[in-house]
Structure 1
Amino acid sequence: MLTGFKYLAKKASSLFATKSATYPIVIPRDKHTLSRSGLSPNAIKVLYRLNKEGFDAYLVGGCVRDHLIDIEPKDFDVVTNATPEEVHAIFSNSRLIGRRFRLVHVTYGREIIEVSTFRANSAPTDESKEINGDSGNLKGKDSARSAHGIILRDNVWGDIEQDAQRRDFTFNALYYNVADFSIHDYCGGLEDIQKQQVRMIGDASQRYQEDPVRMLRAVRFAAKLNFEIEPNTANPIKDMAHLLDHIPPARLFEEVLKLLGSGNGVATYHLLREYGLFRYLFPETDDLIRSNWKNPHIDVEKFILQGLKNTDNRIQEGKSTAPYFLYAILLWPKVLHRHTEFLAQGLPETPALHQAASLVLDNQVAHTSIPRRFSTPMREIWDLQFRLPKRFGKRAFTLEQHPRFRAAFDFILIREESGSDLDNLGSWWQDFQDANDKGRLDLINKADPLKNGKKLPAKRRPRRRKPNSKRVISSVDSGDSVSHE
């Protein structure tokens, strides 16, 4: 995986030897493998345009790091000494976004190039704001922190050296200069790539205090790159994991999608559990795992790992995945747990399921928000887990037309692959989808308990309502007849 970087290190070994005295390390074009041909043409356009307008501009972070590790970059971020307002004025196809971090998105069709201004670290007590009197735009300082020390806004402009120091991990402080095609390393990121380690810039405890999401990012990069988390970076995580409770649920929702929905879900899950982070993302699911909850229909952790494995495989094969499916996997064990409890209280199957789903979702959104456009299909997938077994008569044809049928069918397969005994339900539905009309009818007849001698489950007798004595008396008194037939 590190072939590109090994070539760079071989050519530039003398530069590493003197790094302590010569920061930044500047790797000229003939001593690294990063080429414009592997970069986004639109990102290059942004760089050249900013240079033409008299500003410094660099590619930074993941796109540089990934290219050196022989991973195809997906996102191309630009950093410049131009302010957001100045960038916005240069590009007509741009828009200003963000309050916490003020950025500019330059849009080329479906591709977005994110442009940020060099930032400096703000002092913990600095909540000042300098305003440009002419335009009313933020100009200079704009920072604020919560009572827990978490950065709420960080729009304090600086220079490139200050910008490098405020980034999270060393390999994210690599800058590509399109003016001379050189790479600038300000924090030892090249050496850490060579060592295959994730290392925080500065004091890890302080950096996690400023932004607890950095703990999740450390885990995500370790899983994605197959790197080790450097000891000083790893040691504070377990003791500081509780700070995730102070992060807005909407932000954690997006982080979960990056963590578990990017093709490295299984490795990421193990690291989240190892460092005690998973419980702050999915507390009820974590409680079930730690309590070793026993249920004949599911092995909780085995089911989750199978779901993540299938998701990883789809992503690595270039197939799409839906965020709601990932969340449906992670919350299903608790839905099943609650459903079992409500059944024991005497609720019928369907109302028990609806109450279980509502309770689990209500509790989850306190930790990671789930938009309604995702929670609705999650409920439909769970509901179909109880409807798909009832496939006789015309029901099979109706169920197959359900907009969430395919997702629910895949869900069934994951349940069976993880050890749940569903009486070969997944195979039946696969055969039904593949069969011709006659074959489908044969399958339905075999599944129909009235035609194959299977015993039907006992139906719950409806509860009889007591007659309203007051209404009967008034009717008799008024001369109306009362029938007992």
Structure 2
Amino acid sequence: MTSPIFLPAEPLTIPRDQHAISRKDISPSALRVLYRLHEAGYGVYLVGGAVRDLLLGEHPKDFDVATDATPEQVKHLFRNCRLIGRRFRLAHVVYGREIIEVATFRANTDDGSGDRETDEDGRVLRDNVYGTIEDDAVRRDFTANALYYAIADFSVRDYTGGFEDVNNRTLKLIGDPETRYREDPVRMLRAVRLAAKLRFTIDPASAEPISRLAPLLQEAAAARLFEECLKLFLSGHAEASFLGLEAHGLLAGLFPETARALASNRSGALRRMLIEGLRATDARIAADEPVSPAFLFALLLWPAYCRTLAMLQAQGVEAADAERRAADRVTLHQVDTVALPRRFSLPMQEIWLLQSRFSLRQRKKVVRLLAHPRFRAAYDFLLLRQSASDGHAADIAFWSEAQLDPDHALAVTAVRAEVDAETEEGGDARKPRRRRRRRPAATGH
């Protein structure tokens, strides 16, 4: 059973004229749900991240509702409602592509009449014990997420001190931090992600246990950690999230081989590349441009791939075989922690394996690489590698030109090679070089 969390002596009610939330900033679909439940006599509130973001002047993407109506009572009111979930029973009210999630107030402790189950380490397996709004507030994770906007009088209800924490831009866990992290280790990642997204500081007491408890992430479901990685790195705050993972000792919990590779890379080149890539990812998302999870994981696991490749080559493994084995080994080890689907892991490996082909200049190989479906992603990855080492400038120049005119790029490279060779021989004009006859250009290139 979870340890009880005690409420403040007096909950705080912030009237309409003392907060910034306006109904015009709330989704019309969410307002319909709020009003219908209110008119049916139920207590109902907008809750969680939407209230927090509205107080910060942001525009929430999702609007969640909390009520004292049971999921079945909610379904009775809305024909466009479906009930989901086993661990947490929820009602989804669907308006076109928008889903308003409606949750019944949950209690933090079970007197035996509810449906709650935890494992021997305290992790919650099922939690469908209903209670009051006060019960519901203290079982949420952070004080900033435990604020309730009442449609009845347009006030904000605060039971945990979250209103002050939002104003101070502080992320604070509700209850004993170590107990809450042991209940659900993924809360440590949520703390880092929310702090990065909101530009909040994690409260010292909430931050202190994270590095000690980071190994608990290995016991979390690998599929859930994959979803959390997408939220960490594909929400527009990838760089700040990565720095937060580093600062709180969580990087090794998510990407153990990457963490070891970065620690052993004395020059810091691999970390510079990683940071530059995450910064570019944030810029693409800010510009509303697509970002591939395959490219993201190719970036995050590149240090691990480089380290593994170097170890295999040091053992005398032939280059091409070492590349393939390194790619397979890193992927196999990583999916034990984060369940990376094959639709992303295979393109990720292709991006890595194509890197060694950028040094090739034979005509057939150039044309073949340009036609490869993963060429553009691999080329973009090569550009990122330049931020770690300036040894790729010649390859970048050639392939930039090759994308415009393969024949011209090959001709320029051939002339440069001849000039370099003649310079090395001292410019001896008595030994003219025979030129190979050029084949006609392949059609379509």
TM-score of the pair, normalised by structure 2:
0.86
User: In the alignment, residue 97 of structure 2 is paired with which amino acid?
Assistant: R
- After alignment, is 184-193 or 260-269 more displaced? 260-269
- Please tell me whether residue 217 in structure 1 is matched to residue 177 in structure 2: no
1:247: which partner in 2?
220
2:34: which partner in 1?
47
CA distance in 1, matches of 2:173, 2:322: 47
Q: CA deviation at 1:454?
A: 7.4
CA, structure 1 residues 397+193, in 2 after alignment: closer, same or farther (shift >3 Å)?
same
CA distance in 1, matches of 2:376, 2:31: 41
The counterpart of 1:230, out of the listed 193, 203, 214, is 203
The counterpart of 1:119, out of the listed 90, 93, 106, is 106
- Does the 8 A contact of 2:143 with 2:165 survive in 1? yes
User: In the alignment, residue 118 of structure 2 is paired with which amino acid?
Assistant: R
1:30: which partner in 2?
17
The counterpart of 2:310, out of the listed 340, 358, 363, is 340
CA distance in 2, matches of 1:319, 1:36: 31
Q: What SS class does the counterpart of residue 314 from structure 1 fall into? A: helix
CA, structure 1 residues 448+205, in 2 after alignment: closer, same or farther (shift >3 Å)?
same
1:444: which partner in 2?
410
CA, structure 1 residues 110+383, in 2 after alignment: closer, same or farther (shift >3 Å)?
farther
- Please tell me whether residue 170 in structure 1 is matched to residue 143 in structure 2: yes
- Does the 8 A contact of 2:171 with 2:203 survive in 1? yes
CA distance in 2, matches of 1:232, 1:163: 22
Which has the higher relative contact order, 1 or 2, with Cα contacts under 8 A spaced 6 or more apart? 2
Q: What SS class does the counterpart of residue 338 from structure 2 fall into? A: coil
1:468: which partner in 2?
none
1:375: which partner in 2?
345
CA distance in 1, matches of 2:93, 2:411: 59
CA distance in 2, matches of 1:281, 1:449: 49
CA distance in 1, matches of 2:311, 2:260: 16
Q: CA deviation at 1:87?
A: 2.6
CA distance in 2, matches of 1:444, 1:264: 41
- Does the 8 A contact of 2:402 with 2:408 survive in 1? no
- Please tell me whether residue 300 in structure 1 is matched to residue 270 in structure 2: yes
User: In the alignment, residue 167 of structure 1 is paired with which amino acid?
Assistant: R
The counterpart of 1:144, out of the listed 99, 111, 117, is 117
CA distance in 1, matches of 2:408, 2:236: 40
User: In the alignment, residue 295 of structure 2 is paired with which amino acid?
Assistant: F
CA distance in 2, matches of 1:107, 1:348: 57
Unaligned segments of structure 1, at least 5 residues? 1-18, 131-140, 456-485
The CA RMSD over aligned residues, in Å, is: 2.5
CA, structure 1 residues 95+374, in 2 after alignment: closer, same or farther (shift >3 Å)?
farther
Alignment of 1:466-485 (within 5 A): none
Identity of aligned residues (%): 48
Q: CA deviation at 1:327?
A: 1.1
2:58: which partner in 1?
71
Deviation per CA, 1:205-250: give whole Å up to 9, x if none.
2111211111111111222222211121112222222221221111
- Does the 8 A contact of 2:270 with 2:388 survive in 1? no
CA distance in 1, matches of 2:90, 2:360: 52
CA, structure 1 residues 90+324, in 2 after alignment: closer, same or farther (shift >3 Å)?
farther
CA, structure 1 residues 424+100, in 2 after alignment: closer, same or farther (shift >3 Å)?
farther
User: In the alignment, residue 307 of structure 1 is paired with which amino acid?
Assistant: G
- Does the 8 A contact of 1:392 with 1:447 survive in 2? no
Q: What SS class does the counterpart of residue 269 from structure 1 fall into? A: helix
CA distance in 1, matches of 2:99, 2:205: 35
CA distance in 2, matches of 1:34, 1:363: 47
Q: CA deviation at 1:394?
A: 4.3
CA, structure 1 residues 304+199, in 2 after alignment: closer, same or farther (shift >3 Å)?
same
Q: What SS class does the counterpart of residue 367 from structure 1 fall into? A: coil
The counterpart of 2:380, out of the listed 410, 418, 421, is 410
Q: CA deviation at 1:406?
A: 2.4
CA distance in 1, matches of 2:391, 2:255: 26
User: In the alignment, residue 354 of structure 2 is paired with which amino acid?
Assistant: L
The counterpart of 1:95, out of the listed 82, 86, 93, is 82
- Does the 8 A contact of 1:164 with 1:186 survive in 2? yes
2:429: which partner in 1?
none
User: In the alignment, residue 198 of structure 1 is paired with which amino acid?
Assistant: L
- Does the 8 A contact of 2:386 with 2:393 survive in 1? no
CA distance in 1, matches of 2:230, 2:20: 31
The counterpart of 2:167, out of the listed 194, 205, 208, is 194
CA, structure 1 residues 20+280, in 2 after alignment: closer, same or farther (shift >3 Å)?
closer
- After alignment, is 386-395 or 236-245 more displaced? 386-395
Q: CA deviation at 1:21?
A: 5.5
- Does the 8 A contact of 2:285 with 2:291 survive in 1? yes
User: In the alignment, residue 183 of structure 2 is paired with which amino acid?
Assistant: E
Q: What SS class does the counterpart of residue 96 from structure 1 fall into? A: strand
CA, structure 1 residues 401+81, in 2 after alignment: closer, same or farther (shift >3 Å)?
farther
The counterpart of 1:158, out of the listed 123, 127, 131, is 131
CA distance in 2, matches of 1:245, 1:292: 24
